[in-house]
Amino acid sequence: MKTHFKFELSCLAAAVTLLLAPTAMAGQVQGKAALAVTQAQGLIGNHLSALKADGDDNFEARDAIVDADGTEHVRFDRRWRGLRVIGGDVVTRSQRGALRSASLTLRSALRPKGKARLSAQDAAVEAGARFGGRVDKVYSNEQVVYARGTQPVLAHEVILQGAETGRHSGLVKYYVDAASGKVLDVQDLVQTAAAVGTGKSLYYGDLSIATDRKSATKFDLIDTTRGNGAVHDAQDKTVSDLFSILFLNGPVLTDTDNAWGNNSTSDRNTVGVDIHYGVGVTWDYYKNVHGRSGLAGDGKGIKSYAHTTFKTQSGAITGANAAYVALTNTMFYGDGDATRGFKPVVGVDVAGHEMTHGVTAKTAALAYSGDAGGLNESVSDIFGALVEFHANNANDPGDYRIGEMVRTEAGKALRDMYNQAADGKSFNCYPAGGFDPALASGGIHDPHYTSGVGNRAFYLLAEGAAVPAGSGLTQAQLVCNGDTAIAGIGRDKAGKIFYRALTTKFTSNTTYPQARTLTLQAAAELYGAGSAEHAAVARAWSAASVN
């Protein structure tokens, strides 16, 4: 049965659509990257068949990476007759003026015939019925070509904001088939770390932190050495309020003597120190290990909000969460909730996880449903763990557990990457048929559950079938195919392989089997085809049932 409700098309709709729509890179890149874009755009016209394009397809450059040897990787979004093609993005790989390969997930060169039979209003009604709670606003309702399935179809992309239901955050994107009214895809736009619900830091001891001196008695928690990233005070407002997400401009945390916090939550600046530290460590990891300056590679810092709250299914307010919102490239951190087993959600691996959502949004833009959604969350867990190892803080030694610092019960974590299915919901092994986009956002194929496949593969690639201390597991329980002889290649090499695949090969609709192929390509480029590293990638994916 359809749920009918009054739609209030906000005056913000156009602004939100502008934020979501891909834009050409003209004027946004310089030097070698700009030249790579120009050359790739010239090459595309001669390879339309390979790109599954027709005469009405247009390509808009979004990102460009040039290797030291001159190999050019240019990422394009696609439009057809002016409509965005969801799942139509492509990464071209060129060298010496010749197109060497292209990475894409679009399966068909066919395009939709006829006009949409379902109106935008009716599409919003269908999305509202699936929303399952009070809908306050329709922030975007745009006709697109949905190409994440076997054949591209006309669809409506509908973004709804309203009450959280426990199944989603209250800010959700739907793709509704413009012919049948079927909901094809559900993606939560608030990508969270947990689904429940000198500075004196809470978790990491006394730290030396970079701040911004405004006067002799006023210092702001702004890191002038890392792109002016700042920590603001959300003043306990909720992320589910879209006005807060778009326009919340809470004050930057300040101090009078540049001595921040007291190692306790009795001082509101204390968790700000932890956030500031986590953001800085994540920046340093990407800069020092991968040569990436800032999430977008543009040298700009990120805005973070301390003291954020979230709504539970019952409507109660909780601080037991952290989130990244791609709409505004902003991070939100909660103060915890003892009744739900959470201390303030400001651990280093949480910061690394959330900021990696930003890196993903600026590169592969992996969708937040289906296999791509699992990969999206898995990539954040992978690099969140690598950031924790990189921090090398004795108060929080590196491990493959996500969020163990923020749990009140000893021994608990949000996820164990090597055995995520221990939570009774997640997947360690890839199922036949993969994961369904329509069963994401709070369903059985929510990205927080499907990420276990990628997490296990990465653990095995880095460490091999080595049983983590204190896990109580056996080697046989670490693999899905009985291959307990896997030897790891180390975190550094494994991280570089996944980073290269994410930034130069993955597209928005990459599946787990495709991720296997693309990480194998990355390993071959970095370490050689047939190398030990290349062979280890294949065995690790097979041990997670991805073949």
Cα separation, 369 vs 285, whole angstroms: 27
C-beta separation of 465 from 475 below 8 A: yes
Cα separation, 119 vs 124, whole angstroms: 9
Cα separation, 449 vs 440, whole angstroms: 9
Residue type, 100: R
Three-class SS of 32-62:
HHHHHHHHHHHHHCCCCCCCCCCCCEEEEEE
C-beta separation of 83 from 47 below 8 A: no
Q: Is 448 a known active-site residue? A: yes
Give 543's DSSP letter: T
Q: Give the relative orientation of helices 348-362 and 269-290 as an angle to the nearest 10 degrees.
A: 50
- Phi-psi sector, 343: left (phi>0), alpha (psi -120 to 50), beta: beta
Say whether 66 sits in a helix, a strand or coil: strand
Q: Name the pairing type of β-strands 135-146 and 83-86.
A: parallel
> Could you say which of 354, 388, 404, 525 is catalytic?
354
Q: Is 404 a known active-site residue? A: no
- Greatest CA span in the chain, whole angstroms? 68
C-beta separation of 88 from 62 below 8 A: no
Token pair listed for 67: 């290797």
Token pair listed for 461: 């690639």
Residue from 45, 153, 18, 137 nearest 99 by CA: 45
> Could you say which of 60, 448, 463, 534 is catalytic?
448
Cα separation, 84 vs 448, whole angstroms: 27
Q: 56 exposed, middle or buried (CB, 10 Å; 0-12, 13-18, 19+)?
A: exposed
Q: Give the relative orientation of helices 512-527 and 447-463 as an angle to the nearest 10 degrees.
A: 30
CA-to-CA separations, 319 to 52, 254, 306, 343, in angstroms, rounded: 46, 22, 10, 9
Say whether 367 sits in a helix, a strand or coil: coil
Residue from 247, 271, 269 nearest 258 by CA: 269
Query: To the nearest 5 percent, what fractions of the chain are helix, strand and coil?
Result: 30, 25, 45
Q: What angle do CA 371, 398, 384 make, to 5 degrees?
A: 35
Catalytic residue positions, numbered: 354, 448
